[in-house]
A and B are shown apart, each in its own frame.
Chain A
Amino acid sequence: MNNAPFEMLVACAGAAACWSLWFYLVKDYRVSAFRERLFSIRDELFAFAADDGVSFDDPAYLQLRDLINGMVQFAHRVSFLTLLTSARNSSSSRENSNQHQLWKKSLEVLEPAAKERLERIHEEIFSAYMKQLVEGSIVLFPTAAILFIGFSLRAQLKRYFSAQETAKGDAKIAMVRDLARTLDAQRLEVEAYRESKNNLELSIA
């Protein structure tokens, strides 16, 4: 008796189980975990404002909180596919709708300590976002792994050839900082500002 069709049927049942596990359980879990991370960052921001680090009415605080809220609201849309389609559909009126630039401008009037803290919180948001984006994509994950190896090697070589003793750098943080400098934050934050951006662009249109 030829067992190949039987074996294929059993394999199909296994593949269907994996499919339902990914689309109905793992994906939901990943979104919840990402939201949890963002809520803890939002709590950190709230605690900083409650300790009089920055006013609750300060535009820089409000805009950063809106960014976190937007990311929480649309956390289920964070994927490489969404990034590609939203980048394709982003408006041409970028100067008027660039919320990231508005936030940067709001930072300028703050005390250096408050500015630095808010920038660090923004970096944490960016890091959480990149983690969610990269770990959920079969295209980005291997690319990020190669980049990470490159950054680790560079950090090791730098330490080896450097005359003075340097602090042990974290390659992952260095990679995220480098990406934050290189990538256009507006492109990544476009989903988080969906609702406000819609209204703003409609008023411009």
Chain B
Amino acid sequence: MDKYEFQLKRQRGETLHAAVVRLCKWIPIAFICYVAYLSIAALAGKNTLAAFGIYLVADLKVNKFLSHIVMAAFGIGGTAYGYAQKKLQQRNIERMSRVIQEFENKLDPNRSSSRLTIKGLTRPEDAI
């Protein structure tokens, strides 16, 4: 097998892998959008947005309404908290990694690296 044939084989494998990974990610959301579209199509001409609003708040008592608000705040707040922690951790990695690198280089000057970005993230060229 020559060099170009090998590169072609490898590239074909990579393309297949990237395609399968992307399909696995986007097929579920495409299906969700399709079901949402069918639901909207079933409602078209029969109901209005106002009717949907009434459906959402109808037979809601004050305590049920409050519980929905609390649960939504909990979900959104939890997600925002997690996201903020992630950003904080990245800043921490950025600050600490240089110190660790300098310290390890003193003992092992030929120290090899993990080739992540300074924030500890995947490099764009390795992303797929």
Contact with A along B87-128 (1 / 0, CB 8 A): 001000000000000001001101111111000101100110
**Within 8 Å of chain B (Cβ to Cβ): is A108?**
no
| Residues of chain B contacted by A68 (CB below 8 angstroms) | 114
Question: B83 and A25: CB pair below 8 A?
Answer: yes
Question: A205 and B39: CB pair below 8 A?
Answer: no
Question: B3 and A3: CB pair below 8 A?
Answer: no
Contact with B along A72-113 (1 / 0, CB 8 A): 111110000110011011010000000000000000000000
Query: Which residues on B are within 8 Å of A, measured CB to CB?
Result: 1-3, 5-7, 9-10, 13, 16-17, 20-21, 24-25, 28-29, 32-33, 35-36, 38-40, 42-43, 47, 51-52, 55-56, 79, 82-83, 86, 89, 104, 107-108, 110-116, 120, 122-123, 126-127
Give bound CA distance, A110 to B2, whole Å. 38
Give bound CA distance, A83 to B53, whole Å. 47
| Residues of chain B contacted by A74 (CB below 8 angstroms) | 126
Question: B112 and A62: CB pair below 8 A?
Answer: yes
| Residues of chain B contacted by A39 (CB below 8 angstroms) | 114
User: A16-B29, A65-B112, A205-B5 given as contacts; is B17 within 8 A of A9 (CB)?
Assistant: no
| Residues of chain B contacted by A56 (CB below 8 angstroms) | 107-108, 110-111
Question: B112 and A202: CB pair below 8 A?
Answer: no
Q: What's the nearest-Cβ distance from chain B to residue A18, in Å?
A: 9
Give bound CA distance, A202 to B2, whole Å. 9
User: A76-B122, A82-B17, A85-B17 given as contacts; is B55 within 8 A of A3 (CB)?
Assistant: yes
